[in-house]
Chain A
Amino acid sequence: MDHFNLIVFLGLLLLGYVAGRIAESRHYRSIRQREAELGDVLVFASRFPPDFRVRPQTLVGGSVVVGEDYFKSIVAALQKLVGGRLKSYETLLDRARREAVLRMKEEARQKGASMVVNVKFQTFSIPGRNPNSLRAVEVLAYGTALGPAMPRG
């Protein structure tokens, strides 16, 4: 009985590590592939369009909710004791940001836009301030999609 908790702990740790690694490498492969496919939808932080021709504008956004795996949570819990970079969360948030931009670009392409300006990010902690709840974060990317310039006339 004493070892039961230890076995459960090690099992969860192993599950978290293996599943987390597989999911991460698959996700990164998919991200790189779709970033190449959507390379012609341009994104800019600038509030201003490249020229002042009249274009249809629409709000587009992409949202991702990302949660930690058990292995990452344990590494982060240990890191919390000594401080420093929470390295185990870095890839998680990198993936979330890039995925959010990709989803935003997909929406922009569906709407016939070729660029998104004024792109901003927002994050929201899903459990809020309750530390015992699920630990996940939403990353939202949004911006103004610009359609093709209207013919002058």
Chain B
Amino acid sequence: MSLPPEYANPPLPEGINVTRTHPLADFARLLGGVAVVVVAVVGVSAVAAAHLARFVPFSAEAAAVQRFERVFPEAGGGPVEPWLRDLTARIAAASRLPSGMTVTVHYVQEPTVNAFATLGGHVVMYAGLLEKLESENAVAMVLAHEVAHVKLRHPASTLGRGLVLGLALTLVSTATGSDMVGNVLGPAGLLTVLSFSRRQEREADEAAAGALATLYGHTGGAPDLFRAIEVQRTGGSPPAFLSTHPLDAERIAAVESLARARGWPTTGATRPVPPDVRAAVRRATERAAPGVVD
């Protein structure tokens, strides 16, 4: 069978329908490019949101969280809560809170070694941390640190940053249509959302040391807090860059150098925690299950 010359199937050159790029090079180029843009945009927005959130009036923040206030434990009676409230009031005065800003302290009868400040000026103190602190000055350092977070609007900043990161995560996941992107980035992003940054912690430490100096005339007792936390941490401290809180030794040194710069004495007479408060705290922590300091 002889066919006309146009009826032929000449062999086609290989690779005319594919782009000759190594898949890994393609992947690296895309990932690098997208990561640079996403990180830059999200980073700038998150910083802007964290900064702008401080300008939300404190009254609006307090009103927004009012309906969540039942999550905080009610005063259970006993000597601890009135003592904490009184101490917090004195610290708030020494910290020179802006007018209209109020701090409410809550005492939780659990052995967790922790204390934290959150939206609306709420400060939560766990029995586990109180039990480790022998002087009123050390307890005041904890409370002043948390009051400083409130004063510096750190909870609002952190929420602003968290909202931006959450939104960015949703957008990237939706844009790529891949759940895995969210699953991978989600927990990593959440870590930065839920905690104050190390810079915020350092700011709070500095403000707290100032309040302590105003209240007692010296910053003695602050190192007791950091030492108590350090003993608490078992299995070695994580490297500084992994932890949201600066390392305890670093925090002691930072407070001491600040005190020297400002001319505050670093030692002085400390007041003990009242015996009835200590006894009540010890009863609350009898079922010991140590937690982590935040």
Chain A residues near B (Cβ < 8 Å) = 1-2, 5-6, 9, 12, 17, 21, 32, 35, 39, 42-44, 50-51, 71-75, 77-82, 85, 87-88, 90-91, 93-94, 97, 114-115, 131, 148-149
Contact = CB atoms under 8 A, between A and B. Distances in A.
B23 A80 contact: no
A90 B30 contact: no
Nearest to B188: A2
A90 B187 contact: no
A123 to B, nearest CB: 14
Contact of B27 (A43, A75, A91, A115): A75
B3 A50 contact: yes
B177 A77 contact: yes
B1 A77 contact: no
Nearest to B26: A87
Interface stretch (B13-21, B126-134, B146-154, B229-237): B13-21
A77 B178 contact: yes
Interface of B: 1, 3-4, 7-9, 11, 14, 17-19, 21, 23-24, 26-27, 30-31, 33-34, 175-178, 180-181, 183-184, 186-188, 191
Contact of A77 (B33, B181, B191): B181
B176 A80 contact: yes
B7 A114 contact: no
Contacts of B14: 32
B17 A90 contact: yes
Contacts of A77: 176-178, 181
B26 A39 contact: no
B175 A71 contact: no
Contacts of A88: 23, 26
8 contacts: A2-B188, A5-B180, A6-B184, A42-B9, A51-B4, A75-B30, A79-B30, A131-B177
A85 B30 contact: no
Nearest to B23: A88
A43 B10 CA distance: 11
Contacts of A39: 9, 11
Given A42-B3, A81-B175, 9 more contacts: A2-B187, A5-B180, A71-B27, A75-B27, A78-B34, A82-B34, A93-B17, A97-B17, A131-B177
B17 A50 contact: no
Contact of A82 (B8, B30, B181): B30
Nearest to A78: B30
B23 A21 contact: yes
A81 B38 CA distance: 11
B177 A80 contact: yes
B235 to A, nearest CB: 18
B23 A78 contact: no
Contact of B1 (A21, A87, A149): A149
A72 B27 CA distance: 9
A147 to B, nearest CB: 11
A94 B17 contact: yes
Contacts of B183: 5, 9
